[in-house]
Structure 1
């Protein structure tokens, strides 16, 4: 993994360069958590490997923990977030926990697979709509895949959305100011690169 992968400022700037339109940001604030939740529901239906120990705990009718692929992904992701920004990750942990536990509980309900799949597809389509109609450019993930580059946008999207909510609440004002400056510079660089590619 490149050093940039552990640079919060670089990662935020890269994401911000693809998410500057207010409507697109609102769509992502709504859809990203639902994409994560539905992905956890879908993953909870996968058969576990024998190497994964059986760990189960109920925290009421709507919150359940199982050591499955969803839990492993959630824990790994939060550890990565913690390496990037310990303080903000602590504020994200309750959100991550409720998302995982509610998704795991829902996965045991009849029809959960079909409902989660529908939510997942709808939210992805909504985000493509936000990028195409309001942002006016392809998502960072798609842009990078088509360009043959690796992207952490999919992994970091929940953290980026969490930052957007914190910004709306009036927190981390200096981080927000730095981010806007970095985004302006990065957008200018991306536009220049595209012009150079067109000339070639």
Structure 2
């Protein structure tokens, strides 16, 4: 029997895989200082990986420098597209900006200088990440140690934080 005060129950919306990944990732990143470190270091690591891939010589004469970086960015973008189209288009903008920056640095300073800069940024940013996860702040292991896909989730999680701050859905 139903009464006037009963409200019909709506079926719970199925959670998307990206929401589950973000929930787990957020559980490993509750400390405000660690979150701030991640907002700085995750994009730095992402750029450094793009720059490192940019430094790998392109096969043959058909491909320009940055071929491997472009291929990796496209594959990663496809992963994001399957998880959330809105986040994927945000990540596309991030990839384009990082690709332009990397090309500018490569064209202006050469492959070796780009390589050294990318290695330095990579090392410093990872040190920052592990400091954020140390007992000083978070006290939990990084998420990627349980599942390597969290290396891809980190940049999207940072972008999703920006989306939420702007009032955008992802």
Shift of residue 15, structure 1, vs aligned partner: 1.1
Shift of residue 169, structure 1, vs aligned partner: 2.9
Please say if 1:161 is aligned against 2:166: no
CA RMSD of aligned residues (A): 2.0
Q: Is the 8 A contact 1:42 1:107 kept in 2?
A: no
Please say if 1:131 is aligned against 2:128: no
Count of equivalent residues: 151
Structure 2: unaligned runs, 5 residues or longer? 1-15
Shift of residue 141, structure 1, vs aligned partner: 1.4
Which residue is 2:42 aligned to? 32
Q: Is the 8 A contact 1:8 1:84 kept in 2?
A: yes
Q: Which structure: larger Rg?
A: 2
Corresponding residue SS for 1:141: helix
Distance in 2 (alpha carbons) for counterparts of 1:21 and 1:100 = 31
Please give the per-residue CA displacement for 1:102-140, whole angstroms capped at 9, x wherever unaligned: 113313414222121111100000011011121111111
Distance in 2 (alpha carbons) for counterparts of 1:112 and 1:67 = 12
Structure 1: unaligned runs, 5 residues or longer? 1-5, 57-65, 145-149, 176-200
**TM-score, structure 1 as length reference:** 0.68
Distance in 2 (alpha carbons) for counterparts of 1:128 and 1:95 = 24
**TM-score, structure 2 as length reference:** 0.79
Corresponding residue SS for 2:137: helix
